[in-house]
Amino acid sequence: MYRASPHGLAELIETVPAEARAMLALYCYRRGHLQGIGLTIAVTCDENDLNIAGGNAGAALFARSRETVQAPRIETSSTGRRKVTLASGRSEPWLA
């Protein structure tokens, strides 16, 4: 799933039963690097299935999946890796 093209992911998800698809959407959405896949899967789920699988979290995921027109993009550098940001300044101000 992680390396599937958007079209391939849609075909793969269609083969998964509705209850399992809702659980998979919640599982993926709760992991930062899989959130886009979780939203893509959630778009294919019924509100009731997500509510049963995740309660309030499922309802929130359903609402979020309907807000998003397309999966969020992850900023990458020219090498295809995520950009890393580092904290600046002192982390321990009491040592100054």
pLDDT in tens, 12-60: 888 889 999 999 999 999 988 888 889 989 999 999 999 999 999 999 9
pLDDT per residue over 3-16, tens digit each? 666 667 778 888 88
DSSP for residue 78: T
Q: Is the pLDDT of residue 67 over 90?
A: no
3: Cβ contacts below 8 Å, ≥ 6 apart = none
Whole-angstrom distance, CA of residue 1 vs CA of residue 84:
24
